[in-house]
Amino acid sequence: MQLSGPVSEIRRLGAAARIGAIVMAEQAVDLHVAAYASPDDRCIALDILLRDLARLRAREPALDGFIAEVESYIDLLHRDLARRAA
């Protein structure tokens, strides 16, 4: 299975366990989502990232905590999009 660009970056950052890695992972998510103009497309992109991160979690259980933090950030982005749509 080939991982999408942001998920590959998250995998690399999580494995390195460097200071500031979560911020860089969040930036990778932001850059990926910014490529989509409409809020609906952004929601779909976030859903796809969550699916791919679930697959990564199954393949790399050592990254569980790091992935959980990224998933929490994605959840915040989802909530923000929902709030703007309302």
Q: Where along the chain do its domains lie?
A: 5-85
Full-model pTM: 0.89
**pLDDT digits 0-9 by tens, 18-36:** 889 999 999 999 999 999 9
DSSP state of 85: H
> Residue 4 above 70 pLDDT?
no
Of 81, 2, 72, 9, the C-alpha closest to 44 is 81
Residue carrying the six token digits 């699916």:
51
Whole-number Å distance between alpha carbons of 25 and 67: 9
